[in-house]
Structure 1
Amino acid sequence: MAKQQPTGFVLVHGGRHGGWAWRDVASRLRDLGYPTYRPTLTGLGERAHLLRSEIGLETHINDLVGVFEYEDLSDVVLVAHSYGGMPVAGAMQQVFDRVRTVVWVDAHLPREGESVFDLIGDERAAQMKAMAAEGGEGWYVPTSDASWWGLSDPDQIAWVNSKTTPQPIKTYLDKIGPTDRAWSHPGTTIECNPSRLPAVEVARQRARAESDPHFHRRVIAACHEPMLTHPDELTELLVEAIENR
């Protein structure tokens, strides 16, 4: 009889980040014996040379589906951070049967027909559109100083600033297709305190955790980048989520 593979993790980064953001958490999970993947979405991170205006949300959804298909993944804990919740929610329509549970780390959890700009509200959406117009040739959102995400250590800020890359605004404008698989699947939200999600979105996820026995809420006393500032604590919460199914 073939030996059963241990549960694996797929760690999906947030906007203008890359797989690099999960480096410390991934190394900890691997040290614990869990196969771990940290893909970088098209046009970002080490794939920044592929940046182009037509990259949209569907491109990033296909990126994730491809990881599952080409790595032959199953029984996976699928982890989304921030913007990563958008492609994860879309990819779940195709890979739900290969996913043990989903963990949303201060991540968007959209309903069908919603875009990132719908979720973050008119004021923040207008700011990002202005950033694209002023510094992104109208089609990409330039990088922000890492302190915007709550980082305070100067060395860490400098390191993150050296890694973040622009992102096509189309990925924030595109409205997602069906997401019912994401909403019906066992899951956990890890809410950062302070969170970078809009209060209304945090409230919606809390309401789900209170009403759905297959959905759990955890809180971590960290900024929006806990994989960078609190990798030990976040790793512990991710391992805990394995049993949520």
Structure 2
Amino acid sequence: MEAASSPEPTTFVLLHGGRHGGWCWKRVAALLRQGGHEVHTPTLTGLGDRAHLLNRSVGLDTHIQDLVATFTYEDLHNVVLVGHSYGGMVVSGAMEAIADRVQTVVLLDAHMPYSGESVFDLNGEERAAAMVALAEEHGDSWYIPPADASRYGVTDPADIAWANSRMTAQPLKTYQDCIGATDRVWSHSGMFIECVPSSLEQHLLARARARSTDDPRFHYRVLHTSHNAMVTDPAAVVELLFEARSLAGVDSSEVPSASL
């Protein structure tokens, strides 16, 4: 991988999705750091390298507090904030507290909730019921067991083995909890990146696509790689992150859409 270049050093905060951890951004973070950028890849409570903290009380608010704390204790400002998949829920909630420190929000094949919605609301009743059943059968009724990376479209055997050795369980509560206010994320400059093909349900993607394309503050892009784009095409992800950085405050009607 070649180092990523950008006109000036930028601070990036890369937030993982469900059952992942900060580890999944390793390749993207390496490219950004080689280019002289500051990168933070926090891991949410109970997941990844913080799996020892997994318990049934961990919910969406816990994860929102995790992200806000990263900004507070690292004293972060003028950040490009990226949320992948479930991480879009966390980013949307945290923006109520950290929006003034964020330059641009990037939602990578991620949930885009309105106030009062949960992951289960976005997934739909059928998918929600399937996840509850999975937790009841394999997670003591309160957590969802680790996933297989192939479900996310990763096909290289080495990548699958690498990811699967790091996947962890996810508290069911994080998917059931309704988010609070999301006004500030929806009034902020942002980009929604749809990965094609994606492992996310089509109705969920259609909703996120519609929400991003209907709002002039969000710029819609398509990335032709797996849902786990940070693993399967890190260079393309970095390219879009740099584009997102340049779009702060720019109306989407002024910029043509792109597909990688």
The answer to whether the 8 A contact 1:214-1:244 is kept is: no
The answer to whether the 8 A contact 1:121-1:198 is kept is: no
Counterpart position of 2:229: 226
The correspondence for 1:50, drawn from 50, 53, 59, is: 53
The correspondence for 1:217, drawn from 213, 216, 220, is: 220
Whole-angstrom distance in 2 between the partners of 1:154 and 1:51? 28
SS of structure 2 residue aligned to 1:160: helix
User: Unpaired runs of 5+ in structure 1?
Assistant: none
Whole-angstrom distance in 1 between the partners of 2:212 and 2:124? 22
Quick check: 1:21 aligned with 2:24?
A: yes
The correspondence for 2:38, drawn from 31, 35, 58, is: 35
Counterpart position of 2:115: 112
- Superimposed CA distance per residue, residues 68-126 of structure 1 (whole angstroms, 9 cap, x where no aligned partner): 00011000000000000011000000000000010000000101111111111122111
Residue 184 of structure 1 and its aligned partner are, at CA, apart by 1.2
Q: Give the aligned residue type for 1:167.
A: Q
Whole-angstrom distance in 2 between the partners of 1:56 and 1:158? 28
Residue 14 of structure 1 and its aligned partner are, at CA, apart by 0.4
Counterpart position of 1:166: 169
Identical counterparts, % of pairs: 59
Whole-angstrom distance in 2 between the partners of 1:84 and 1:6? 24
Whole-angstrom distance in 2 between the partners of 1:222 and 1:37? 23
- Superimposed CA distance per residue, residues 19-50 of structure 1 (whole angstroms, 9 cap, x where no aligned partner): 00000000101111110000000000010000
Quick check: 1:138 aligned with 2:141?
A: yes
SS of structure 2 residue aligned to 1:207: helix
SS of structure 2 residue aligned to 1:138: coil
Quick check: 1:241 aligned with 2:250?
A: no
Whole-angstrom distance in 1 between the partners of 2:48 and 2:200? 22
The correspondence for 2:130, drawn from 127, 131, 135, is: 127
The answer to whether the 8 A contact 2:152-2:198 is kept is: no
The answer to whether the 8 A contact 1:9-1:79 is kept is: yes
The answer to whether the 8 A contact 1:101-1:185 is kept is: yes
Counterpart position of 2:185: 182
The correspondence for 1:10, drawn from 13, 24, 41, is: 13
Residue 199 of structure 1 and its aligned partner are, at CA, apart by 2.6
TM-score by length of 1: 0.95
Whole-angstrom distance in 2 between the partners of 1:197 and 1:135? 22
Whole-angstrom distance in 2 between the partners of 1:209 and 1:15? 21
* Aligned residue pair count: 241
TM-align CA RMSD: 1.3
